[in-house]
Amino acid sequence: MARVDRATEALQFLKQIPLFSGLDEESMDRLARECRFHNVNKGGFIFLQSDPSERAYVVRSGNVSIVLNSPNGRDMVINEMRRGDIFGELGLLTQRPRSTSAVARAESELLVIPGDGFLRMLDSEPRLARRVLEITAERLMRSGEREGALAFMDAQARLAHLLLELDRQEADTGYITISQDELAQRTGLIRQTVAKVLGNWRRNGYLLTGRGRIVLLHHHALRKLENEMII
């Protein structure tokens, strides 16, 4: 009975996700029976770079960062996954090891989709295959644009750009919950550089900082710095 209940719960969730909406009911039911929900603690890894690609994931709650690990030990967040977002599908499509790591930035619940079941559904549902390709292409394009922009930004511009982007996601409240380690990962900077820049901005009255929290006080000054794209 518990197995049927889990399958029903997975099916109901899949139907809420635009990626899977309108697909064949029988195929959806078969896929749902192979899926399971998995809880991940904040800071927990879902997979590591170079791991075998065996599953895809859909975020039910929480927040997952896709992280690129460099040979020199520095990490950079290249994407953020939230409710309804699928990730891990690219490795299944290419049959190659993971090119990135995935880590939960908050307590998260994921729907885990076995690779074999996902690929079988792609074979039987051309609409799903097209949607997955569209999502993957759009994600790669956004990542390329973001990385291209960062390549021409100095440290201050990178940090200002990220803080203003995070503030927009929070409806311009000026209140952001993020650590200096996360800021470093998401801008490709080292933590010492992040701490130095934030310290200067704090003294200039641009923002306030606390443990894992930042309050923006002077948006205009940060926008000006964001536009100074000189390395």
Q: Model confidence over 129-167: pLDDT tens digits?
A: 999 989 888 888 877 777 766 677 888 998 998 899 888
Shared-domain flag, residues 111 and 208: no
Shared-domain flag, residues 96 and 19: yes
Residue 65 forms beta bridges with which residues?
A: 80, 103
Shared-domain flag, residues 56 and 75: yes
Shared-domain flag, residues 87 and 144: yes
Shared-domain flag, residues 118 and 19: yes
* pLDDT (mean) for 28-57: 95
In a domain, 141, yes or no: yes
Strands laid side by side in the 86-87 sheet: 36-40, 108-114, 55-61, 86-87
Long-range contacts of range 12-20, CB-CB < 8 Å, 24 or more positions apart? 13/58, 13/60, 13/111, 14/58, 14/111, 16/84, 17/58, 17/84, 17/86, 18/84, 19/84, 19/86, 19/128, 19/131, 19/132, 19/135, 20/128
The chain-wide mean pLDDT, for the chain, equals 88
Shared-domain flag, residues 71 and 22: yes
In a domain, 138, yes or no: yes
Which range marks the domain in which residue 217 is found? 154-226
pLDDT for 87:
95
pLDDT at residue 123 tops 80: yes
Shared-domain flag, residues 31 and 96: yes
Strands laid side by side in the 75-81 sheet: 45-47, 101-104, 64-69, 75-81
Structure tokens at 34: 């192979």
Shared-domain flag, residues 146 and 158: no
In a domain, 231, yes or no: no
* pLDDT (mean) for 20-47: 93
Shared-domain flag, residues 39 and 115: yes
In a domain, 123, yes or no: yes
Q: Which residue has the tokens 């409240």?
A: 173
CATH, residue 201: 1.10.10.10
Shared-domain flag, residues 111 and 192: no
Shared-domain flag, residues 48 and 20: yes
In a domain, 69, yes or no: yes
State the pLDDT confidence band at 1, using cuts at 50, 70 and 90. very low
pLDDT digits (tens, 9 = 90+) for 217-227: 999 999 998 88
- Rounded distance, CA 90 to CA 41, Å? 24
pLDDT at residue 216 tops 70: yes
Total number of domains in the chain: 2
Looking at 118, 134, 150, the residue that finishes a domain is 150
Q: Which residue has the tokens 């820049």?
A: 197
pLDDT for 154:
87
Looking at 150, 166, 193, the residue that finishes a domain is 150
pTM: 0.76
CATH, residue 138: 2.60.120.10
pLDDT for 120:
93
Shared-domain flag, residues 97 and 44: yes
